[in-house]
Amino acid sequence: MKGPKLTVDALVVHPQRGVLLVQRKNEPFAGFWALPGGFVEEGESCEHAVVREVAEETGLSVRVVALFGVYSQPGRDPRGHTVSVVYVCQPLGGQLAGGDDAAVARFFPELFGVSLAFDHARILKDAGFPTEENDC
């Protein structure tokens, strides 16, 4: 049986600096900005996967604070059907830098004019961050 692939995304928010995003280095959406995240590996919990992905893509260590939501709309990822579990995460430390498949990692105090990948504009709107209607 073929089914959707499981992914995770992190909402990391700094009170003064804004929300953490990564600029994608690879397709799909190379050059677009996205929440840090990625695929859950075999034998890995979603919570471990989101902590790992944030560290790999941003250089920051985080802890999971809460489950934010689940996004499962078919077509949200051009590579195939994915279901993303989104967590609110708190930064604990580390040195902010793009890594793995992220060219750049940075905090955004506002999102107007930022080209967002996947359905991340919807996720950010749901989290209370105003964005333009530019989600793909």
Tens of pLDDT along 59-110?
999 999 999 999 999 999 999 999 999 999 999 999 999 998 899 999 999 9
In terms of phi and psi (left: phi > 0; alpha: psi -120 to 50; beta: otherwise), the region of 111 is alpha
pTM of structure: 0.93
Distance of alpha carbon 32 from its chain centroid, rounded? Answer: 12
* Domain layout of the chain by residue ranges: 5-126
User: How far is Cα 124 from Cα 34, in angstroms, rounded to an integer?
Assistant: 10
User: How far is Cα 35 from Cα 51, in angstroms, rounded to an integer?
Assistant: 13
Q: End-to-end distance of the chain based on CA atoms, in angstroms?
A: 28
CATH architecture of the domain with range 5-126: Alpha-Beta Complex (3.90)
